[in-house]
Chains A and B, each alone.
Chain A
């Protein structure tokens, strides 16, 4: 087990290096940051000087090498856009996104799993059909439209919730949290619902699909035959067996929540990583983009590691293969 984890972390380094490499290849196509950094009156010489100073006149493989060199020394560079060290920027933004993603994921699970179980057990009830249909409407509208509609209804018409930002933040020194104040929770509501909607639908439908399958297996029939109460059968046996795909998807979705948060955070002006990366892309803020991508790569490897470990806990039949060898 320990060797497995170590191996994974080594792989993480390879992944992060690959991501950085691809990033720098990619930045060639995002645009030139210089025009965004200088005003219209800057002379061509000034532009060239800035380009040289930032190393942007170098071919991108060289830029990649010097980026890796700097990271190895713990230097992430400075944002082209706001002139703040990237490490500090990301440290400021990470808590906002993690809290948002966490609340959204929990929301999606807490609503999606029971709804999936219900619709799986009561395949033909009208309530099941309603759940399935309504949840689809929620995902077929674009995130930005849903967000704006929520803002319009709860922010402007009813004035129950704040329309933007992350209010009521308490600074713990190493972390900023909105969990400790009423205002903090109020400003979390709309963004987290917007963000959770797609995952909720997905989880619900996956749980339903798996439930339907598992309920027909001999194993469940046998459990029933043994005279177990249907409650015990459904939740003790059936649900447990649906968990492998649900865990995969949840783990996976935490990743896509991070990605989706780009739009949600922009709509709600949520000061997190999503807003940061979108603005970085628009500004061609290379240090922020590259550091963000490398960090996210690391998060993915960790999330997937956790998911694989969870498989092991949920379904002992799955043996984690630590080294080559392939099929038995």
Chain B
């Protein structure tokens, strides 16, 4: 993409990242191309599949629909930020053990949507999980094991808190 460039300040997974890019460049492309965070995937480019889901200032967004100018100054969370100090996030653990990931291409977006759901509703019921993940398409699993993963992660974080 040619044309004028704008300086953009981002905080990505708690790290400050300054880039100078075309202001209308998609947040998805800035993450993948400029910051080399390729965990966030493109599935449709029109906000339908949710593969590019990231959190921006605590909101779940499709990064393919966000011109980076709109993210200037924002705090962004991507799949790469889930693991902390070599310890998997409870959702990553649960997806691994419950079979929540098959081909894996929807998984980063699915994890971010699930994290968003659990932050707002730490103990969701099945209907709430279905609604919370309805914007993220998975073609492999039929969603059953994704639901089981989210339920398991919610249960595990409860036991962690209890300790």
Do A and B pair up? The answer is no
Q: Which residues of A contact B (CB under 8 A)?
A: none
Q: Which residues of B contact A (CB under 8 A)?
A: none
